[in-house]
Structure 1
Amino acid sequence: MDEVARLERLRIICLALPETTERLSHGEPCWFVRDKKAFVGFSNRHHGGEFGFWCAAPLGAQDAMITVHPDRYFRPPYVGHRGWVGVRLDLEEVDWDEVEAVVREAFRVVAPAKLAELA
């Protein structure tokens, strides 16, 4: 699967969540809850880091994810200090079920409680 196809698959996962919108942010696709709060930002190496995406994560999850799977997760520039986690999509085999679970959790972290329950 090429990089364009991987971006499209990520887009489908993000836009399947309730009240999610997409727009460019810092030159790359980004997904927002109710067009206000970002929960996933695509990274095509434009701002440094790996090809993949950066997303919100529950408190403490960033360190745990990077420690257990340093080949799949990383601390992204700019937002890593806020606990966001980077997810690599340039691996030979991407576990799309895991990507979907990470995206849903990012949505739940950012979304209002009643909307988060729908994800």
Structure 2
Amino acid sequence: MVTEEDVRRLALTLPETTEKTMYGTPAFYVRGKWFARIREEGDVLVLPVPAEEEKAGLIAAEPAKFFTTPHYDGHAIVLARFGAVDAEEMRELLTEAWRLRAPKRLAAEFGDRA
């Protein structure tokens, strides 16, 4: 199980990541674009995914880990429960979300180092 501090630590290891608040909760940005936000509950992370089909696939395959709410219907955004995700999977989720929002050149440079 990951904690808010684990999410913060993992997110801030990604290049050019900053933390600011969004809707009163911690959120992580790469060059001004958000890529993860901790929801009000404090144990759920909001993450963009490449497509709504991927979101649906994650939720169908692992509903204990991933879910959505009506607010996110029609958006390629999935919610992940901290208690159902280990640190390595959280690192992968954050990195994928970061890659979606990072400028192409920065993402490519990071890919060369990873």
Fold shared, TM-score > 0.5 on shorter chain? yes
Aligned amino acid, residue 87 of structure 1: A
TM-score, structure 1 as length reference: 0.82
Q: CA RMSD in A?
A: 1.9
Instruction: Measure the CA separation in 1 of the matches of 2:24 and 2:50.
Output: 26
Give how far 1:81 is off.
Answer: 2.7
- For residues 1-119 of structure 1, what are the structure 2 equivalents within 5 Å? 6-34=3-31, 36-45=32-41, 51-59=43-51, 60-76=53-69, 78-91=71-84, 94-117=85-108, 118=110
Q: Which digits, 9 at most, give the CA deviation of each residue in 1:15-63, with x for residues without a partner?
A: 00001110111000000011x11000001328xxxx3100111112211
Relative contact order: is structure 1 or structure 2 higher (C-alpha 8 Å, sep ≥ 6)?
Answer: 2
Moved over 3 A (4+): 76-80
Any stretches of 5+ residues in structure 2 without a counterpart? none
Contact 1:53 1:89 in 2 (8 A): yes
Cα 1:39–1:79 change in 2 (3 A) is farther
Shift of 1:112: 1.0
Q: Which runs of 5+ in 1 are unaligned?
A: none
Return closer, same or farther for 1:31/1:113 CA change in 2, 3 Å cut-off.
same
- Write the letter of the residue equivalent to 1:81: G
| Corresponding residue pairs, total | 109
Structure-2 separation of matches of 1:103 and 1:80: 21
d(CA) in 1 for partners of 2:103 and 2:9?
21
Per the TM alignment, residue 78 of structure 1 is displaced from its structure 2 partner at its CA by: 3.4
